[in-house]
Amino acid sequence: MSLFLIAALPFLGALFPALLIRAGRNAAAASAGFTTLLAFIGLLLNAPAVLRGDVVQARLDWLPGLGLNANFYLDGLGLLFAGLILGIGLLIILYARFYLSREDPMGQFYTYLLLFQGAMIGIVLSDNILLLLVFWELTSLSSFLLIGYWKHLPEGRQGARMALAVTGSGGLAMIGGMLILGHIVGSYDLTVILQHKELIQASPLYLPALILILIGAFTKSAQFPFHFWLPHAMAAPTPVSAYLHSATMVKAGLFLMARMWPVLAGTEAWFYIVATTGLITMVLGAVIALFKDDLKALLAFSTVSHLGLITMLLGFGTKPAAIAAVFHIVNHATFKAALFMTAGIVDHSAHTRDIKRLGGLRHLMPITFTIVLIASLSMAGIPPLNGFLSKEMMLQETITTLWRESHYLVPGLAVFAAMFSAAYSFRYIVHVFLGPQRRDYPAQPHDPGVGLWLAPAFLALLVVAIGLTPGIISGPVVSTAAAAVIGDGQIPYFNPKLWHGINAALLMSVAAITGGVILLWAHPKLAKMWNDAPRPEAKDIFDALLGAVTRASRGLSDALHNGSITRYSAIMIVFTTGISFYAYQSGVAAQATRAVQEAGPLPIIGWISLVLATLFIVLNHRKRLLSLVLIGVVGLVVSLSFNYLSAPDLALTQISVEVVTIILMLLALNFLPKETPVESPVSTRLRDGAIATVAGAGIGGLIYALMTREFIAPSISEFHLANSYKGGGGTNVVNVILVDFRGYDTFGEIIVLGIAAVVIYALTEAILGSKVRAYLLNRKPDLPQDGDPHPLMMVVATRVMMPLALMVAGYIFFRGHNLPGGGFIAGLIAAIAMLMQYMASGFGWAAERQRFYYHGIIGSGVLIAATTGMGSWLAGRPFLTSSFGYLHWPPLEKFEWATAALFDLGVFLAVVGAVMLTLESLARFAWQPGMQSEHAMDINPARDDAPKSEEEA
């Protein structure tokens, strides 16, 4: 089975449980189980090749320009973790079916579970670190949904937020480290990165990359000082705890360290950071676990301790330690998942997880007791169970490890942690299941049905089988996984034994077990001392730190984001100008090679007009009508400049846009005060003026530098000029660019234009339902009004000009592909022709003769443009690729025709519809259907919805 399909199956399967829940809980569970089983079978089909030492790969160039390739590969390490994810996932799906109550939305649970499963599979199979980062963040998001699954519990919501905050923050750090790593190697593919150990470790960026990557791994695997989030995630349902915190999520950080071990391990920085962090976490988690009275809290801190053990082994940087780490990953997943499930069984049966309220359950729950006994003894490191084997290997490695020239520090702390590990394992057995039966259980304990105990029983059998025959059950998988971690291409010899004779590791193990028994005996006194002793609480520290960061962020946001657009603009322009000046000062500018041409009188007059108009706008911007006239002058000068510089298309477009926007803005200003109030003090205006002057001078200097220098890189205009006709079938390069080379941009622009018009319509529609419109209709003009708002001469002239203007629009449209013109300009000309009718004859007269809704015209334009673009797919060419040729339709002469004309038709319709819909929206403030008069200001004062006075309005 393809690795793509294996990675995709959980995501595809996540669709079904939520849909099938209406068919029953069994159907939802079966769909989730079937999807996971199918992916597991696909993994097993690839297992023989991997166990032979081969690597299964699947490659897809996704965004090669960014180095983002959807590449997957399966080696021994990926096989081990994918097997744990899918195999234990199957058991969790079975267990959850009988654990969750009827009130719990089971379909939702399985959907979240499969999303998380897919993200984890994506991590362990990714052959591209950018793709791995995507899946990494998906695990944080999906685990947030699982941990907070019981939304009605405050502790569940808090645990989900804490997990997301910690692991998400670590993920951001890891993104930086991975990007640095890809930069060092020059590739983001893992298979390439893992071949450049010397290059990476010799780079000055090695240490920053190492620290950032380890932060991501430590936060995900709950290593000190980020260990506190894991126990609070125990508020999740037990199936979530058993899955996320034994075999999957917390193992993701371990997987990352193991995956990067070939290139990051072997340095002092790696040893002292990773091994020390793991050692501290192992000791701290073991000590805290002994004094927890909640079963899941005990198991949570024991998980933290064992994760620290594995981290410590990886940190040693030796091959035997790496093998031991891989072996303990397998063993921990088996006995810890079983223990979490049994904790859920106890809670499900006795209605409590409080150890102080339990005891004497061995006769009431014999099946559960047997499973707990096997799994707990394995966790304590008792032979002949699998936990004993990996614990012995760990102790053996500590003997040969020096920390700052000390021979005793690491093995001494390892024995200390193992002692507490044995103690809390024994406590789970003795304080919960041994002793006399009680009479005050919250509910009468009893063994559950087979649906709840089958999954942990299967894991308990694995614990025994691996312990008795490790070389047969787990040997090949551990060997190939360890070979991938070590990365030297050699599959190491792996054959652990229960008996190696009397050696130092055995004596250390005996000391740890003996110490564990003593600690259990002394537990009541030690617990009292522990509870009375003052100690910092990681959660309180986290909450205080989070509160401080939140307050600081809010203060900074309030200081910067006060709603003043002038402040935002000032900050952005100052920052942009500053970094531009720095770039200019620190860079090397080429010498000017182009001579400055002499300017004639016309350009000088135009430039002076432009400057004067701009200055007058700045000085008189509060006078809205005058400002609008001056803006029209600026637009006119710009249009003339385009024409002077041989850009007639741009000149036509600019002048058409100016006419349309001036008319629409005049209509809008009719409903606004004629002057803008003074809002900024003099100091602010002086500041803004200084910023604008400096930034403008900088832009002018940049333009001058660009225009007076030659550049090595050829201009893209050369490509357009060379390919305009042979590629797009037109000699008007500007139009060919708009409808062919950059047709997708134009397509997006007409969509945005249509959206803007519809938004204006929606806003005016909302205002029309309020008293604002009545106020506008009843306002008193401050100047005398003409008695004839529709002069006859203007009415006649515009109606005569209407067909002529539409004919010109048609001419401009059809000539656009080869001469200045096109759909956009033609649409503006047609819109101007219709705007004149509204201005001359009134909105009511024109609206009564409207035959098509402007919404439909916009939609038709977008649909025509989209259909034209999709038509190129039929020829097997990219979207919006145009075709052209010559047609001969008698009695016409042969003429050229391009499919781009249809796209241009869509542009034409979208422009006409958008302009006219905007006009209609604004004009409706002064007109409504059924009015007695056509005149915009003829308002019937007797209307019920009109206020009788301005004060009333």
Residue-wise pLDDT for 248-293, tens only, equals 888 899 999 999 999 999 899 999 999 999 999 999 999 999 999 8
**How large a percentage of the chain has pLDDT more than 90?**
34
Q: Could you read off the pLDDT of 638-668 as tens digits, one per residue?
A: 888 888 888 888 888 888 888 888 888 887 7
Question: Is 70 exceeded by the pLDDT of residue 422?
Answer: yes
Q: Which pLDDT belongs to residue 771?
A: 73
Name the residue type at position 112.
Y
Question: Is 50 exceeded by the pLDDT of residue 379?
Answer: yes
The CA distance from 857 to 908, in Å, is 10
Global pTM value: 0.70
Q: Environment class of residue 591 by beta-carbon count within 10 Å: exposed (0-12), middle (13-18) or buried (19+)?
A: exposed
Helix, strand, coil distribution of the chain in percent, nearest 5: 70, 5, 25
The CA distance from 486 to 707, in Å, is 58
Mean pLDDT of 140-166: 87
Q: Which residues contact 664 (CB under 8 A, 6 or more apart)?
A: 915, 918, 919, 922
End-to-end C-alpha distance for the chain, whole angstroms: 73
Helix axis angle, 854-871 to 900-923, nearest 10°: 160
Q: Which pLDDT belongs to residue 712?
A: 62
**941 pLDDT tier (thresholds 50, 70, 90):** very low
**921 pLDDT tier (thresholds 50, 70, 90):** confident
DSSP annotation of 72: E
The CA distance from 258 to 325, in Å, is 9
Q: Which pLDDT belongs to residue 115?
A: 94
Question: Is 70 exceeded by the pLDDT of residue 706?
Answer: yes
Name the residue type at position 483.
A
The CA distance from 599 to 594, in Å, is 15
Instruction: Look at residues 21, 3, 182 and name the one whose alpha carbon lies nearest to residue 97.
Output: 21
Question: Is the CB of residue 140 less than 8 Å from the CB of residue 168?
Answer: yes
Helix axis angle, 295-316 to 249-264, nearest 10°: 10
Q: Could you read off the pLDDT of 464-519 as tens digits, one per residue?
A: 999 888 877 777 888 899 999 998 767 777 778 787 778 888 899 999 999 999 99
Higher pLDDT pick, 817 / 750: 750
CA 931 vs CA 761, 766, 774, 790, 950: distances in Å:
21, 20, 14, 17, 21
Q: What is the biggest distance separating any 2 CA atoms in the chain, rounded to whole angstroms?
A: 117
* 885 bridge partner residues: 897
Least confident segment among 77-86, 205-214, 625-634: 625-634
Instruction: Look at residues 145, 144, 33, 35 and name the one whose alpha carbon lies nearest to residue 25.
Output: 33
**938 pLDDT tier (thresholds 50, 70, 90):** very low
Q: Which pLDDT belongs to residue 137?
A: 92
Residue 274 token pair:
């990773």
Question: Is 60 exceeded by the pLDDT of residue 949?
Answer: no
Parallel, antiparallel or unpaired: strands 72-74 and 884-887: unpaired
Q: Which pLDDT belongs to residue 786?
A: 62
Tell the residue number behind the tokens 């035959």, with chain if given.
Answer: 851
Instruction: Look at residues 644, 651, 654 and name the one whose alpha carbon lies nearest to residue 602.
Output: 644
Q: Which residues contact 727 (CB under 8 A, 6 or more apart)?
A: 736, 740, 741
Question: Is the CB of residue 51 less than 8 Å from the CB of residue 78?
Answer: no
Helix axis angle, 366-380 to 386-399, nearest 10°: 10
Question: Is the CB of residue 355 less than 8 Å from the CB of residue 440?
Answer: no
> For the chain, which residues make up each domain, given as ranges?
268-555, 734-953
Residue 315 token pair:
């940190």
Question: Is 60 exceeded by the pLDDT of residue 933?
Answer: no
Q: Environment class of residue 683 by beta-carbon count within 10 Å: exposed (0-12), middle (13-18) or buried (19+)?
A: exposed
Q: Which residues contact 473 (CB under 8 A, 6 or more apart)?
A: 462, 465, 466
CA 92 vs CA 17, 238, 255, 306, 528: distances in Å:
15, 10, 21, 21, 37
Least confident segment among 13-17, 107-111, 880-884: 880-884
Backbone φ, ψ for residue 580 (5° rounding): -65, -40
Q: Which residues of 463-497 are buried (b: 16+ CB within 10 A; e: fewer)?
A: bbbbbeebeebbbbbbbbbbbbbbbeeebbebebe
Residue 40 token pair:
């597991």
Mean pLDDT of 668-695: 82
